Amino acid sequence: MKTARLKVGKDFQISAIDERIYGSFVEHMGRVVYTGIFEPGHEQADENGFRRDVMELVKKLNLSVIRYPGGNFTSGYNWEDTVGPVEERKTRLELAWRQIEPNTFGLNEFFEWCKQVGADPIMTVNLGTRGIKAACNILEYCNFEGGTYWSDLRKQHGYTSSHHVKTWCLGNELDGHWQIASKTAEEYGRLANETAKAMKLIDPTIETVAVGSSTPRLSSYPEWDREVLMQSYENVDYLSLHNYINRSQDEDLAVYKKREPDDTPTYLSRSLAFDRQIKEVIATCDYVKAVKRSDKTMYLSFDEWNVHRYPEQDYEEWKTGSPIDWCHFTMEDTLLFGGMLLSILRHADRIKISCQSLLVNTIPLILTDAGGKAWVNPTYYPMLHASQFGRGILMDSKLSCDQYSNSLFNEIPTVDHVVVKNKEDITIFAINRTEESILLESDLYGFKMEQVIEHIILSSQDLDDCNASDCPDKVSPKRIKNSLLEDGIVKSELPAYSWNVIRIKI
């Protein structure tokens, strides 16, 4: 068995991990809302129409934030259609996904649902077809205590206290040709700057997120990010990153054609693209900081990220709740997903917000059948484990292991990892990217280690294994006795192609 060696020193810490890294995303897209989180008439629906079975799965994730209402949906969003008595709301054409939007689940329903699952909302304003005035109006409706038209309208709708939404995204993917009312970087940067200024006049406590590049696979990346920040640096608080990885998608997102699918080693190495993207965006932010001679550090919001698979169910245009990108994820997808998550955690000194995309029924963590069951994709479990055991201090760590190379990257480690110090334990998240077991020897010098609390694995006999409604636990985590503390070293056997959580009491 090959050996990997990990060193972690008690005094070498990188950053506290912001709890908002553990977030997700709900958009009016396909079946995310309708027959996903909201299905009146379902046997599991509560008095609000929220599916209790879905809520219970969401609650277990202990998500800190959930972004809403999009996504591409936002660039045609008229928030006023979504509030007030449901029977008086207008049914609209929704252009981003070519759906019928009944608006039976709206702004206040979302806030109520967030309260029930224990997450704070992140709102995205429409800077596509709308602008500064509409952004200010929705902020006034949500956050101003009372005595004005929009805040009093909220009270008339039954919400006497403000919603206190702290984080506001200033539009979505406006660099993309697919976006309604897409803009140049200069146009958008000036609009974002002026919108942030106006919104903060209403509520100086809010934070704003400027739209960064939709993906590194656009020719405008990262020049878009540079120009947007040149226009808005002092008035926005975060720059967004988005990225999705599909094993057979063309490298140029402007060209919708498939390429030859990756083999497994290549596919699993693509999480390194996240590390590269994060470093490039940080460099861009710091360049603008230097040019402007600013004392302000720009932090990042990775508010859309996931593995992507092509849909398994047909989509029908101009329907409500027709599936878009409804799919099962495999064990192989889950290992890549785990690697993406570790890339984000590894840069917790600059990434303060992160939203996995999307929560239910669209490249989802959670799947539902309309009128039927709810279950989870295997990708649910790395998110669950990181949210449970990764809320402490990101530790500086050094790993020595075998490496491999391919056409995309050189020096790819066979073991991917992140180490987090919590109040009473050290948690090692580790992925074995190979077809053989690997012995991981962890030297946690400076710490007084008492015992191995547990070693959790997620693996499967076949990398194509997935969970389905009739076998919802086919790929699920197990506690194993593969780790022991011996002579001050934690020795852990990482099974082939596995996600591992190793917890040591200190």
Cβ proximity of 447 and 12 under 8 Å: no
**This prediction's pTM:** 0.97
Q: Which helix (H) or strand (E) holds 381?
A: helix 380-389
CA-to-CA distance for 20 and 484, rounded, in angstroms?
33
Phi, psi (deg, nearest 5) at residue 60: -60, -30
Collapsing DSSP to helix, strand or coil, 188 comes out as helix
Give residues with Cβ within 8 angstroms of 431, minimum separation 6: 268, 335, 338, 339, 342, 415, 416, 417, 498, 499, 500
The catalytic position among 173, 207, 227, 332 is 173
Phi, psi of 310 (to 5 degrees): -75, 150
- Do the beta carbons of residue 231 and residue 210 sit within 8 Å? no
Q: For residue 16, what are the β-bridge partners?
A: 393
- Beta bridge pairs of residue 483: 492
- Does the domain made of 2-11+394-505 have the CATH classification 3.40.50.720? no
173 is catalytic: yes
What 11-16 contacts at long range (C-beta under 8 Å, 24+ apart), as own/partner pairs, is: 11/446, 12/395, 12/396, 13/393, 13/394, 13/395, 13/396, 13/421, 14/348, 14/349, 14/393, 14/394, 14/395, 14/396, 15/348, 15/349, 15/393, 15/394, 16/348, 16/392, 16/393, 16/394
* Alpha helix ranges (H) inside 118-184: 132-143, 149-156
8 A C-beta contact, residue 139 and residue 124: no
Given a cut of 70, the residues of the chain with pLDDT beneath it are 251-257
d(CA 331, CA 468): 13
What is the identity of the amino acid at 351?
I
**Which one of the listed residues 80, 109, 227, 304 is annotated catalytic?**
304
Report the distance separating Cα 41 and Cα 27, nearest Å. 21
Q: CB under 8 Å to 160, separation ≥6 — which residues?
A: 146
Peptide bond into 222 cis (omega under 30): yes
Q: Which helix (H) or strand (E) holds 102?
A: none
Residue that is written with structure tokens 């928030």 in the block: 79
pLDDT value of position 256: 61
Active site annotation includes 304:
yes
* Cis peptide bond N-terminal to 358, omega within 30: yes
Residue 71 preceded by cis peptide, ω within 30: yes
- 18-389 CATH: 3.20.20.80
Pairing of the two strands 403-404 and 438-445: unpaired
Any idea where the domains of the chain sit in the sequence? 2-11+394-505, 18-389
Cβ–Cβ under 8 Å, residues 217 and 237: no
